[in-house]
Amino acid sequence: MIRVGPQSLGQRLAPQAVGFLTILVLLALWQESAALGWVNKFVAPAPLDIARSFPRLFTEEGLTGRFFQTFAETFASAGCAVMIGIPLGWWLHRKPLAGLAYESWFASFAAAPLVIAYPLFLVVFGRNAATIVVMSFLSGLPAMVLKTKEGLDATRRVLVNVGTSFGLNQRQMFWKIMLPAAIPSIATGVRLALIFALINVVGVEFLINFGGLGELIDDLAQRWELPSMFGAIVFVILSSVAFFWLTGKVERWLRPHG
């Protein structure tokens, strides 16, 4: 017999509860293993020690300031990617030959392991925020360009025809028809630019030991503050989760309903 009808609250929440409990059980096993000495504390400190390190991260390691520094670099990088990527994407759409010639280049660039070229950027820009922002901007740019072009290319022909029938000039066509139609795809591009920027900012900060959260992780590793290092890693993961949830909400808000 197939059950129909709405599920109870318990039935709806059961999977989430099981998932959460599984995480708790794994943490408990880790804690017990650390207490019994089965796990080397220089490899993985006990979860409780990690949790206890959190207040210290805020009071002694300047976690809040570093958080803002990382996210400032992220928004600067993504902002540059948006400001340059949207016009570039529009140009690739507007000039079909340019689109044919360069779209695959941008796609290949998106897949390029740019981060391994960080010594190069260090030599050119120095060990400072410029290296971080430039590298992160370059990582987010292809997504912005390609999603902008994709959105403009996908504008329904019938909408363009309607605009033509109303005698709209090119500029009016762009602002009243093309851009609104491309907003969902552009919103995805903005979200991707932000995601790639954050990943690169934290990664490059870690590699060059400069900046915010990434530098903190490397610094704590250098000082053998392992519970705090793990705590900082957890904080970065939680920040990423919150950030991506937020950008997802913004993207959904920008998309038309229905």
Partner 1 sequence: MADIALPSSRPRRRGFGLVAPIRLATLLLLWAIWEGAAASGLFYEGALPSSFKIARGVLALLVSPVFYFNLGVTLLEVLAAVAIGVGGGIAIGLALGASRFAARAFEPYLHYLAPAPKIIFLPVFMVMFGVGGGSKIAIGALSCFFPMVLSVASGVREVDPVLLRVGRSFNLSLAQTVRKIYLPALVPPIATGLRLGLGVAIIGTLLGEIKMSNRGIGFLIMQDYGQFRIADMYAVLVVVFALAAAGNALIARFLRMKGRATP
Partner 2 sequence: MRKIVPILVAAVALLAADYARAESFKVAIPQQGVWDTNLTVWGVHEGFFKQKNLDIDIVYTQGGATTEQAVISGSVDFAMATGTLGIISAYVKGAPVRIFSAEQTGTPDIFWYTRSDSGIKTLQDTHGKTVSFSAPGSSSNLVILTLLKEAGITDAKPVATGGIPGTFTQVMSGQIDVGWGAPPVGLQELKEGKIVIVARGNDSPAIRDETIRVNVVNLAVLQKNRDAVIRFAQAYQKSLDSMYADPRAIDFYAEQNHVSHELAAVAKRDFYVKSAVEPYTIHGLQRVLDEAYAAKRIDAPMTPEQVKPLFDIVWKPGS
From 27-35, 57-65, 102-110, 162-170, span contacting partner 1 (CB under 8 A): 102-110
124 binding partner 1? (CB under 8 A): yes
Q: In terms of DSSP H, where are the helices of 36-169?
A: 47-52, 54-59, 63-94, 96-111, 118-125, 129-153, 157-165
- Dihedral sign for Cα 237, 240, 246, 250, please: negative
Measured from the CB of residue 71, what is the shortest distance to partner 2 in angstroms? 22
123 binding partner 2? (CB under 8 A): yes
- In the numeric block, the tokens 């400069």 are attached to 210
Give the three-class secondary structure for 223: coil
Query: Is 239 in contact with 67 (CB distance < 8 Å)?
Result: yes
223 binding partner 1? (CB under 8 A): no
HEC string of 18-43 equals HHHHHHHHHHHHHHHHHHCCCCCCCC
Closer to partner 2 at the Cβ: 65 or 96?
Answer: 65
Closer to partner 1 at the Cβ: 157 or 171?
Answer: 157
Measured from the CB of residue 169, what is the shortest distance to partner 1 in angstroms? 25
Distance in angstroms (rounded) separating the CA atoms of residues 89 and 83 = 11
199 binding partner 1? (CB under 8 A): yes
Query: Is 179 in contact with 191 (CB distance < 8 Å)?
Result: no
| Pattern 67-106, partner 2, x by CB under 8 A | ----------------------------------------
Task: Give CA separation, 174 vs 24, 29, 236, in Å.
Answer: 53, 59, 40
Binding partner 1 by CB under 8 A: which of 35, 83, 101, 130?
A: 101
Give the interface with partner 1 as residue ranges (CB under 8 A). 14-16, 18-19, 22-23, 40, 42-44, 96-98, 100-105, 107-108, 110-113, 115-117, 119-120, 123-124, 142-143, 146-147, 150, 188, 192, 195, 198-200, 202-203, 206-207, 214, 217-218, 221, 229-230, 233, 236-237, 240-241, 244
Give the interface with partner 2 as residue ranges (CB under 8 A). 40-43, 119, 122-124, 126-127, 208-210, 219, 221-224, 226
